[in-house]
Structure 1
Amino acid sequence: MQSKPLIGLNANFRPATHDRPAFSFVGAGYYDAIIAAGGIPVVIPPVAEEADMEAILDRLHGIVFIGGPDLDPHRDGFMRHASVRPMESRREDLDRALMSLVVRRRLPVFGIGVGLQLLNITMGGNLYFHIPADVPTALPHKDPIDAGHRHGLEVVPGTIMDRIYGDGEVRVNSMHHMAIDELAPGFQVAARAPDGLIEAVQWAGDDWVAIGTQFHPEAESASALDQRIFEEFIEGIHAQYGVPRTPVAATAGA
């Protein structure tokens, strides 16, 4: 393995319209955070063949599943709440197939927002489809007029989030209306919102680097400390592959 791991990024997708071609896109915050943490981001287009997905994964050392629109509950056998705004089917087809391959391989994975929700579903968990309806006592997790809406974060001792944030007061951005209900087997909660909703998870064993956050550490509304999550993810990849990590500071001016 090279000194900098190759980190895949799935992409959002918009179909063609009468005056605009179809295109894939990724928020710059995702690849900037990977670069800053010492990885090399690789954007994955919505390929359809499983063999092509396998060929891509053969070359990656880890993958970050980005946030975005909602997963379609119909695909998991549930009714679709009126508030659900499903992502384009071409993206969801890729995301679901790719995540299945990732968990089968135990490739290091970091799910953010809907990426965390997909990781949880793929591993056997389920979701709240609309927090205000499913958990009426919950605090607001999305403010339509404030993209920088934040709430507190209560980290679980001994977890990755505890290692990052410690004992101080923590506040993270919050822009979601769906959330984890039943946590998938094999995972443990790493942090919760003050209302008890799950905000971060990690694989409970030491045989797989798999983490997820409901909040967005790559966003402009994130704190400088949130970047440490990407660094912990990259550190975990190096530990799994047994290769010393090249210090980020040493490569920043290269």
Structure 2
Amino acid sequence: MRQLTRPVIGVISDVKPGSGHVTHGVTEKYLFAVARGADTYPVMLPGRMSDVDGSMSETAVLEEIFALVDGIFLPGSPSNVEPALYGGTPYDPPLPADPHRDVVSLPLIRACVERGVPLFGVCRGFQEMNVALGGSLHQKVHEQPGHFDHREDGTRSIEEQYGHAHEVSLAPGGLLAGLAGAGRWSVNSLHGQGIDRLAPRLAVEARADDGLVEAFRVQDAPGFALAVQWHPEWRFWQDRLSAGLFEAFGAAARAYAAQRRGDALKAAE
């Protein structure tokens, strides 16, 4: 049995070429938020695990992941989910993609939901969860009639890009409204894509004033399963809702880890 004092959170990595090599990576801000905000121990999960040498099935890979982790975090990324996965037609020229991440994250999302493994998605992770559960995406929200331009201004400083951009309305009685203690909240906005068709199992937790879904939960999931379109990892300690999201995720991971320990002890008796 593992002898760790904190729950282990698997964090999905991006897969991209660089300097003649392929790299798997996660931006530090996500790892810091998972470690400090959720009080857990993050471990990076590489993409394309099931076909590295062709010897392991998807099911076997998932079993190995679930033997290791007490929760899954899906970070944001410059890449997008492959349009073919939700019946979309790719733009020409194509938008940035990461099919090696898709091939791991989408089946992992579905398995987490079914098993009750705590699951928290941010930005791309939010979009991945919607697609994995049967929803679709707008590939360019700013081109959709009636929608705002939710992209960041790349000419501004990082601090300005991650500053508050607009408010969202929080669903009455929802998890986010409870964490915020309010019906509306100001969030940052750094995304070009967004939800077109909401997956059937998802319940809206927040919307922007243009109607775009900004947060949801999996309403019939046996465990914590929630995602937001904005970036709560950015200086989470300065924002009550952001801090509350990571604390709630960490609490769910601790409860799940305790349950696993209890089940292991019973099995050993």
TM-score (norm 1): 0.84
Equivalent position of 1:250 in the other structure: none
Aligned with 2:66 (options 54, 57, 60) = 57
What SS is found at the alignment partner of 2:209?
coil
Equivalent position of 1:154 in the other structure: 169
Q: Which deviations, in whole Å up to 9, do the C-alpha atoms of 1:177-229 show, x marking residues without a partner?
A: 11112222222111111111111111224622100000011125984321221
Matches within 5 A, 1:22-171: 22-36=22-36, 37-46=38-47, 47-48=49-50, 49=56, 50=58, 51-68=60-77, 69-82=79-92, 85-134=95-144, 136-145=145-154, 146=156, 147-148=161-162, 150-167=165-182, 170-171=185-186
CA contact (8 A) 1:84 1:129 kept: no
Extract unaligned runs of 5+ from structure 2: 51-55, 260-269
Equivalent position of 1:218 in the other structure: 233
What SS is found at the alignment partner of 1:103?
helix
What's the % identity of the aligned pairs? 28
Q: CA deviation at 1:41?
A: 0.7
CA distance in 1, matches of 2:13, 2:199: 24
Q: CA deviation at 1:35?
A: 1.4
Cα gap change, 1:117/1:222 in structure 2, threshold over 3 Å: closer, same or farther? farther
Aligned residue type for 1:43: M
TM-score (norm 2): 0.80
Count residues in correspondence.
240
Query: What is the RMSD computed on CA atoms of the aligned residues?
Result: 2.4
Whether 1:13 and 2:15 are equivalent positions in the alignment is yes
Equivalent position of 2:250 in the other structure: 234
Q: CA deviation at 1:39?
A: 0.9
Q: Which deviations, in whole Å up to 9, do the C-alpha atoms of 1:151-197 show, x marking residues without a partner?
A: 11211111111112122752111111111122222221111111111
CA distance in 1, matches of 2:219, 2:239: 26
Cα gap change, 1:78/1:206 in structure 2, threshold over 3 Å: closer, same or farther? closer
Cα gap change, 1:234/1:220 in structure 2, threshold over 3 Å: closer, same or farther? closer
Q: CA deviation at 1:3?
A: 4.8
Q: Which deviations, in whole Å up to 9, do the C-alpha atoms of 1:60-100 show, x marking residues without a partner?
A: 11100111111110233320134852323322222233333
CA distance in 2, matches of 1:180, 1:158: 22
* Farther-moved stretch of structure 1 (230-239 vs 220-229): 220-229
